Amino acid sequence: MASKEAIQVIEPATEQVMAELPRAGAEETDAAIDKAKVAFADWRAVAPADRSALLHRLTDAIEGRSDDLATLEARNAGKPIADARGEVGMVVETFRYYAGAPERLTGKTIPVSGGVDMTFREPLGVVGLITPWNFPLTIASWKVAPALAAGNTIVLKPAELTPLTAIELEKIAVEAGLPEGVLNVVPGPGSVCGRRLVEHPDVAKVAFTGSTEVGRGIAEGAAGTIKRVTLELGGKSANVIFADADLEAAASSAPMAVFGNAGQDCCARSRILVERAAMDDFMSALEGAVKSIKVGDPLSESTQMGPLISADQLHTVSSYVNGDAPVAFRGSAPDGPGYWFPPTVLAPVSNDERPAREEIFGPVACVIPFDEEAEAIRIANDTIYGLSGSVWTGDGARALRVARAIETGVISINSNTSVRVATPFGGFKQSGVGRELGPDALEAYTEIKNVYYATEG
């Protein structure tokens, strides 16, 4: 069932169509899987040093196109150009990190009787990568780079809202000398192309980033063919601020930890837990920081926050800030066309209320007061999610105690950073399964093979 209608790609800051492209359907997805399957035999056989050299060439080619890619991403995803440049920088760093990996994909020798036992890390085959619209090229790179380095071939399905940089990546890969069929991009709907990747018997693994709801369906669908899955899903992360913290630093850093990318970030620290003794000081510092956020044209150098991705997202986010929501203060947002929503702080909020329980995926923060350490930990863990988070305190022992007690895949102390190319990223609980980035991602694109070689009669 091929769908020949066009995808109209909308620029969220203007609501104008910025590109039209053919929409892939099940037929195009099957054809891409077939191409990837044919390409796999040769790609896995490329000598490690040669695969590494090709990936370095691809990295250089992406770096050479950094400015175009950043502008395309800023326009299509509505993100500030400075952020988009930073993200393309991370894409380059990710490809460079994994370009060195083919020659380091080592196995083990294991002492056994009667012979020699050794393990190999074999590629899986064709992998299906399904990516979201919030960090389109960055999240694609977290999957594409380790998958290629490990010797797999790829069918990548970008979100229909933001397919443009993935399509460019496919072109750049071919120009850089990646063999035909190794990286295939199918821009089409998740319910058709994504689903096909999940169900197709020739796809060995699906790596997905997106909503927990769709992730559940992927886990279910993957069971039919016992596919490997990596799921990077939603979050409702806690930013825990104790009264003995550097409150100025915590308050000046808290806004972009939730309003960055207009809040459309699975790592958004959208529950700000503040020790009651520090509440007044923290809130007055936070108000100044929130009101100074520059919201506007993504292509302007001074913009810190752009619009939401779509009219649907604007509608969903608005539903959390209705008539009786406890709005403490808000920043500004432009009028006119574009899916604008001002940075908004709700306070005080109980952790039982809807804005504190659901992933809003927009620039809405909930401030939740607490009285003591145990209560902060209990509130932080009272969620189905466990992706990211922060602890701010001047007490080192407490910092480590609380960081260990919070059920989350990634946590920072006196910092709101979440992601580094060389370190593992992923969630506890319903925030996902598996890890991306760092050494772990590479292993997740391989299968261990054990070989025993008899050496005695």
Residue 394 CB, nearest approach to ligand NDP (Å): 32
Q: Does 132 bind ligand NDP (CB under 6 A)?
A: yes
Q: 3-class SS at 237?
A: coil
User: Which tokens sit at 222?
Assistant: 């993957």
Residue 131 CB, nearest approach to ligand NDP (Å): 6
Q: Does 189 bind ligand NDP (CB under 6 A)?
A: yes
Q: Does 414 bind ligand NDP (CB under 6 A)?
A: no
Comparing C-alpha atoms, which of 39, 435, 7, 18 is closest to residue 193?
Answer: 7
Query: According to CB under 6 A, which one of 80, 234, 296, 338 is a site residue for ligand NDP?
Result: 234
Q: Does 134 bind ligand NDP (CB under 6 A)?
A: yes
Q: Does 164 bind ligand NDP (CB under 6 A)?
A: no
Catalytic residue among 87, 170, 266, 359: 266
Comparing C-alpha atoms, which of 243, 239, 328 is closest to residue 277?
Answer: 243
Q: Does 129 bind ligand NDP (CB under 6 A)?
A: no
Beta strand pairing call for 153-157 and 364-370: unpaired
Residue 123 CB, nearest approach to ligand NDP (Å): 23
Q: 3-class secondary structure for 34-72?
A: HHHHHHHHHHHHCCHHHHHHHHHHHHHHHHHCHHHHHHH
Which residue number, 217 or 438, has a Cβ lying nearer to ligand NDP?
Answer: 217
Which residue number, 75 or 157, has a Cβ lying nearer to ligand NDP?
Answer: 157
Q: How far is CA 416 from CA 165, 171, 251, 269, in A?
A: 27, 35, 11, 8
Which residue number, 275 or 436, has a Cβ lying nearer to ligand NDP?
Answer: 436
User: Which tokens sit at 254?
Assistant: 């808290």
Catalytic residue among 232, 275, 359, 436: 232
Q: Is 12 exposed, middle or buried (0-12, 13-18, 19+ CB in 10 A)?
A: buried
Q: Does 101 bind ligand NDP (CB under 6 A)?
A: no
Query: According to CB under 6 A, which one of 361, 370, 385, 392 is a site residue for ligand NDP?
Result: 361
Q: Does 194 bind ligand NDP (CB under 6 A)?
A: yes
Residue 176 CB, nearest approach to ligand NDP (Å): 25
Query: According to CB under 6 A, which one of 3, 66, 71, 211 is a site residue for ligand NDP?
Result: 211
Contact between residue 81 and residue 301 where contact means Cβ atoms under 8 Å apart: yes
Active site residue 213: no
Active site residue 232: yes
Binding mask 49-78 for ligand NDP (x = CB under 6 A): ------------------------------
Q: Does 263 bind ligand NDP (CB under 6 A)?
A: no
Query: According to CB under 6 A, which one of 87, 160, 168, 436 is a site residue for ligand NDP?
Result: 160
- Could you count the other beta carbons within 10 Å of the beta carbon of residue 451? 11
DSSP string, 111-157: --SSEEEEEEEEE-SEEEEE--SSSHHHHHHHHHHHHHHTT-EEEEE
The single residue listed with the structure tokens 């319910």 is 191
Which residue number, 359 or 436, has a Cβ lying nearer to ligand NDP?
Answer: 359
Query: Cβ-closest residue to ligand NDP?
Result: 190
Contacts (Cβ under 8 Å, ≥6 apart) of 335: none
The Cα–Cα gap between 320 and 353 comes to 10
Plot region of 262 (φ>0 → left; ψ -120 to 50 → alpha; else → beta): left
Q: Does 107 bind ligand NDP (CB under 6 A)?
A: no
Which residue number, 192 or 283, has a Cβ lying nearer to ligand NDP?
Answer: 192
Helix, strand, coil percent content, the chain, rounded in steps of 5: 40, 20, 35
Q: Does 266 bind ligand NDP (CB under 6 A)?
A: yes
Q: Does 191 bind ligand NDP (CB under 6 A)?
A: yes
**In this chain, which stretch among 124-132, 147-155, 293-301, 388-396 interacts with ligand NDP, using CB under 6 A?**
124-132
Q: Does 326 bind ligand NDP (CB under 6 A)?
A: no
Q: Is 93 exposed, middle or buried (0-12, 13-18, 19+ CB in 10 A)?
A: middle
The Cα–Cα gap between 152 and 311 comes to 37
Catalytically annotated residues: 232, 266
Chain residues binding ligand NDP by CB under 6 A are: 130-134, 157, 159-160, 189-191, 194-195, 198, 209-211, 214, 217-218, 232-234, 266, 359, 361
